[in-house]
Structure 1
């Protein structure tokens, strides 16, 4: 229901309404208003729900607001005064306490002063003690460090001296420290006028420990060496280190290696006898003495076993001395440096190790050599010994016992071989040519002798190591060639003269050339025979000249030109050649006719006599040389006939009546000389 204007006006004049309007229009969002409201809400509690008159509590609050605020302020003031009264009381108590404290502080200051004086003295004393302690600690550190550097601890002393501690890393470490202590101590004592007591005591103590250490490793190594009874031995790192340390003391090392040398001698001797008589394990390889019927294999097997044993021994010694192998091939030269002590020691030990087995080796090889009758077998054995002699000299040295024995055996073998070959040569010089044999080929004795020589040369060539030069190769076989080829040559020449005297029709020159050519063919495949082949070639050329002259005279006689050619050569021109009886025109005509007939025969191409030469090249050489001289003789005859002072009538007609019609070039073409 809408209100009337009259009512609105009445309400507008009502104070309550005006107050409400004011209250409702007021904003309570500012901070001061909110704080005031919070204060009122704290001052007045929430009204009870059971109030009899609504708004009674709020009205009473508005009415008593001022009084309530004043009471509140008064209560707060009383509380403040009570609090300040308590504070004042406490301040009084504090003031009394402070006064008491001041009195106490004076006493404390006096005590503190006394204490400070005493403390200063204590601090000075403590500082002095601290400095002294630092000095003592520094000296202690220096002494401790000095003792750790220049003395051995209990464990290290025990490792050096106790037999219960084995030779090994711990022992070697202690030994290294001992040697280092001695070196450092020696350096510290250098330059001092007199050795210090500490240095002297350190050197004495370490010397004692070091001697005990060397004695320990000597006894240990000697015991280990006595156990090395196998042909193939593996050397441990501890043993190599032991030998390396003993090498600093050569006298101790030599003393230590004595048991090793004795053990290796016994071991190799026993192994060699076993290989000779029993063979290998389970009989393989078979015993060497089973092949005693085959001298070359018997000697070769023994030498091969010894060589293999030496190779194993060298590998063992190289491992023992920690020497790297140089990769040297078997038989190649081993060059020693001036300061190569390890190599010399290895060679000495190898030489000592095989000392005992050289006795049975020498006896057996010497018996085998002396029992041989065949010169080929003797030479093969001698050559085999020569090969191993060279190999051993290059492996263990020329002064080694085995090298000396092999040299003696080689000399014996070569002597037996040379004696056999010289006996064969003497047998060749006996009269052996059959007077009824008209053959011009080398005799059977020469063929057999040359076959032996060929086998010997094959053996020598196969035995060369490959590093010899041509001079060395030739020098090594020169004596053999001298005692084998020279008797054969002498047999051919001297025997042919004897047979020619008894059988004049027998062709000695062709026979000698055939023998010499055969010997040349035997020597030709081998380069180390070049000197002897050269000597034989000189003899061949000499015989070729003789046979060429003889053949020329024969064909000139057969062709009818001998007399005329000789007359033309000796003509002194005191009278015309046409007046000389041997060169009358009729004689010249007859000679030219005979020569023309000879040119139509087979002797122009091949001589029946020279056909018996076994060397075809000599046949051709001699025949062509003779034909060349015949052509020269014919040319001289033609020149003399044409010469006016010789007064041949119709000289051109005389020469042109028969072949070759005075044409020397045509004759040379016919002979095949141009």
Structure 2
């Protein structure tokens, strides 16, 4: 055991010695080193492999010498290369030194030259600055001229080389430029160049005034031309800033167009159209309605072309209302035809007194409606003016003449109304008057607002006619008068019912009809009651004594006689009706009379039946006296 311990201790001592040996440590380090991770060692081994090819003992012994020999060779090569570099650097140094000497010499010479030319350089710089300033001023001046001045060519365009120089589109371009220049002068005023701004404004005003004056003269000539230039529209738009010149041009246009319109109207009256088609309007003077209608139609057809020309004239005007100015211009142009139109139409209305009586009121009313229609139509084109006023005056005149002629004609017919005939039918005078009324109201269809005249027209015809009918029936008996009046009023009511806005007159006529029907029905009922013998019973029935059977008028024998006659009436009711009722023209009137008579008899029979069957009045065997029930009698009568 002791020996074993000693051995272990000895081994430990030996191990510690080996670890402290430097060579051992290096060997151990080399052994522990991993060559693949040491880049320098790998590179050295790669280099070694280039010349150490034979791994022999001799080679290994001479390896150190080989390495040192290679190191010497590399050093010699480096020295040779460094010698070449040193020589090159020496050459560069020599050249740089030479260059430096030359630069120093040039610098000295440049400084000498600069000191000698300093004044010249300063003067050149000053001149160059002045040149740049002048160039900039030139650009500003050119821009100023372009902005605030007209070129000589533009001045020639706006002023015109001669008085007869034509106006072209370039003129309006230059005129618009003067306006822009004048508006741009405010920027000069704001920038403090008041004098320049005023001078420019004065120049532009002079050029613009000259241009507007020339434009005004040109427009005057174009207004007289048969085919004016399309540039007249631009010219009037430009003349708006001079209202006096603008109004003078418009007045010239109106005067010229007015002359053309009246000449065209007179040619249409006397000469007709080109080649004789259409024929002259004067050839229709024998037919007043067509004559007046052709004249008004010509004027109506001529005004739209004038309106189109005026609309084109004021199309580009912005300071006015083009629509209102167009209407005023057309109204002024249309004044030229007022006098010849008024003269001829008044002649047709006032002096034409030889037309046959039945036609004259109708003719006058047709002419009045023509004037009313064209007055409303032309008023939409001109919106007033002398022509519209003339047409309105002529319409009023023709309407007054129509009313006067209508009243005169109706008065003549009413004064000479024929007496009623045996058939009690309306007389021919009544038929003629109603035919006149129908013809007049039929003529009113040409004008939309002519129906407003119905009330006055119907009053002019119906009131005198009704009075004349009542007067002519005054000499007849009550029954004949009622039948005659019913026939006349029926025809009058039938005629008025075909018209419009005649409600008041229809109510008045219906009231007359109802009154005459009441009269005739009363006479009819009285006659039937007398024929049946119940007329004397009726007062007693309304206030019966007790007992009624003791009264002589209502004695059972009288009641039985009444029942016998009633049976005969029920079998043939027409035999007891008034003969004159058969002359009624309206079946409705006859039915009304029959119904009222039947109602009256049914009422009397019902009262009498109740009294006879009442025990108070002591009738014996009432079922024999009045066997029929009132409802049965009522159904038989109706």
- Decide: shared fold, TM above 0.5: yes
Of residues 619, 632, 637, the one that matches 1:666 is 632
1:402 aligns with 2:387: yes
Determine the structure 1 residue equivalent to 2:427.
443
1:201/1:216 Cα in 2 relative to 1: closer, same or farther (>3 Å)? same
Of residues 514, 521, 524, the one that matches 2:487 is 514
Conserved in 2, the CA contact under 8 Å of 1:225 and 1:259? yes
Determine the structure 1 residue equivalent to 2:47.
none
Q: SS of the residue aligned with 2:278? A: coil
Residue 585 of structure 1, CA deviation: 1.8
Going by fraction, where is helix more abundant, 1 or 2? 2
Further displaced range: 219-228 or 609-618: 609-618
Q: SS of the residue aligned with 2:565? A: helix
1:138/1:555 Cα in 2 relative to 1: closer, same or farther (>3 Å)? farther
- Distance (whole Å) between structure 2 residues aligned to residue 429 and residue 104 of structure 1: 148
Residue 176 of structure 1, CA deviation: 0.9
List runs of 5+ in structure 2 lacking aligned partners: 1-90
- Distance (whole Å) between structure 2 residues aligned to residue 345 and residue 207 of structure 1: 28
Determine the structure 1 residue equivalent to 2:419.
434
1:597 aligns with 2:595: no
- Distance (whole Å) between structure 2 residues aligned to residue 102 and residue 628 of structure 1: 158
- Distance (whole Å) between structure 2 residues aligned to residue 584 and residue 650 of structure 1: 13
1:170 aligns with 2:170: yes
- Distance (whole Å) between structure 2 residues aligned to residue 646 and residue 202 of structure 1: 130
Conserved in 2, the CA contact under 8 Å of 1:369 and 1:413? yes
Determine the structure 2 residue equivalent to 1:287.
280
Residue 519 of structure 1, CA deviation: 1.3
Determine the structure 2 residue equivalent to 1:27.
none
1:485 aligns with 2:462: yes
Conserved in 2, the CA contact under 8 Å of 1:561 and 1:592? no
CA deviation vs aligned residue, 1:362-398 (integer Å, no higher than 9, x gap): 1111111121432221221222122222222332234
Matches within 5 A, 1:48-67: none
Residue 576 of structure 1, CA deviation: 2.5
Determine the structure 1 residue equivalent to 2:181.
181
Conserved in 2, the CA contact under 8 Å of 1:577 and 1:647? yes
Residue 543 of structure 1, CA deviation: 2.4
CA deviation vs aligned residue, 1:245-272 (integer Å, no higher than 9, x gap): 2234332211112221221122112111
Residue 273 of structure 1, CA deviation: 1.4
Matches within 5 A, 1:410-425: 410-425=395-410
Residue 189 of structure 1, CA deviation: 3.7
Residue 101 of structure 1, CA deviation: 9.8
List runs of 5+ in structure 1 lacking aligned partners: 1-90, 325-338
Determine the structure 2 residue equivalent to 1:156.
154
CA deviation vs aligned residue, 1:566-616 (integer Å, no higher than 9, x gap): 3212x1x55332222221222112112111111111428986433322122
- Distance (whole Å) between structure 2 residues aligned to residue 544 and residue 312 of structure 1: 63
- Distance (whole Å) between structure 2 residues aligned to residue 109 and residue 188 of structure 1: 55
CA deviation vs aligned residue, 1:134-192 (integer Å, no higher than 9, x gap): 343333323322321122222221111115452121001001111112222236546x8
- Distance (whole Å) between structure 2 residues aligned to residue 433 and residue 100 of structure 1: 158
- Distance (whole Å) between structure 1 residues aligned to residue 211 and residue 583 of structure 2: 91
- Distance (whole Å) between structure 2 residues aligned to residue 174 and residue 645 of structure 1: 124
Determine the structure 2 residue equivalent to 1:475.
452
Matches within 5 A, 1:624-643: 624-643=595-614
Conserved in 2, the CA contact under 8 Å of 1:167 and 1:217? yes
Q: SS of the residue aligned with 2:536? A: helix
1:217/1:590 Cα in 2 relative to 1: closer, same or farther (>3 Å)? same
Conserved in 2, the CA contact under 8 Å of 1:576 and 1:646? yes
- Distance (whole Å) between structure 1 residues aligned to residue 515 and residue 193 of structure 2: 93
Matches within 5 A, 1:71-150: 108-118=106-116, 125-150=123-148
Determine the structure 2 residue equivalent to 1:385.
371
Residue 205 of structure 1, CA deviation: 1.3
1:189/1:577 Cα in 2 relative to 1: closer, same or farther (>3 Å)? farther
Matches within 5 A, 1:471-550: 474-497=451-474, 499-500=475-476, 504=477, 507-550=480-523
Q: SS of the residue aligned with 2:279? A: coil
Conserved in 2, the CA contact under 8 Å of 1:189 and 1:199? yes
Residue 456 of structure 1, CA deviation: 0.8
- Distance (whole Å) between structure 1 residues aligned to residue 160 and residue 487 of structure 2: 89
1:244/1:606 Cα in 2 relative to 1: closer, same or farther (>3 Å)? farther
Of residues 216, 219, 222, the one that matches 2:220 is 222
> What TM-score, normalized by structure 1, do the two folds share?
0.74
> What TM-score, normalized by structure 2, do the two folds share?
0.78
- Distance (whole Å) between structure 1 residues aligned to residue 98 and residue 398 of structure 2: 135
Q: SS of the residue aligned with 2:502? A: helix
- Distance (whole Å) between structure 2 residues aligned to residue 163 and residue 553 of structure 1: 112
Further displaced range: 102-111 or 487-496: 102-111
Determine the structure 1 residue equivalent to 2:209.
211
1:580 aligns with 2:563: no
1:134/1:560 Cα in 2 relative to 1: closer, same or farther (>3 Å)? farther
1:298 aligns with 2:291: yes
Of residues 270, 273, 283, the one that matches 2:263 is 270
Residue 505 of structure 1, CA deviation: 7.7
Q: SS of the residue aligned with 1:527? A: coil
1:195/1:544 Cα in 2 relative to 1: closer, same or farther (>3 Å)? farther
CA deviation vs aligned residue, 1:105-155 (integer Å, no higher than 9, x gap): 765442222224456665555445444443433333233223211222222
Residue 281 of structure 1, CA deviation: 1.4
Conserved in 2, the CA contact under 8 Å of 1:182 and 1:206? yes
Conserved in 2, the CA contact under 8 Å of 1:379 and 1:414? yes
- Distance (whole Å) between structure 2 residues aligned to residue 643 and residue 188 of structure 1: 125
- Distance (whole Å) between structure 2 residues aligned to residue 580 and residue 606 of structure 1: 29
Further displaced range: 201-210 or 218-227: 201-210
CA deviation vs aligned residue, 1:38-91 (integer Å, no higher than 9, x gap): xxxxxxxxxxxxxxxxxxxxxxxxxxxxxxxxxxxxxxxxxxxxxxxxxxxxx9
- Distance (whole Å) between structure 2 residues aligned to residue 464 and residue 123 of structure 1: 101
Conserved in 2, the CA contact under 8 Å of 1:474 and 1:529? no
Q: SS of the residue aligned with 2:582? A: helix
Determine the structure 1 residue equivalent to 2:447.
464
Q: SS of the residue aligned with 1:285? A: coil
Aligned-pair Cα RMSD in Å? 3.0
Determine the structure 1 residue equivalent to 2:580.
609
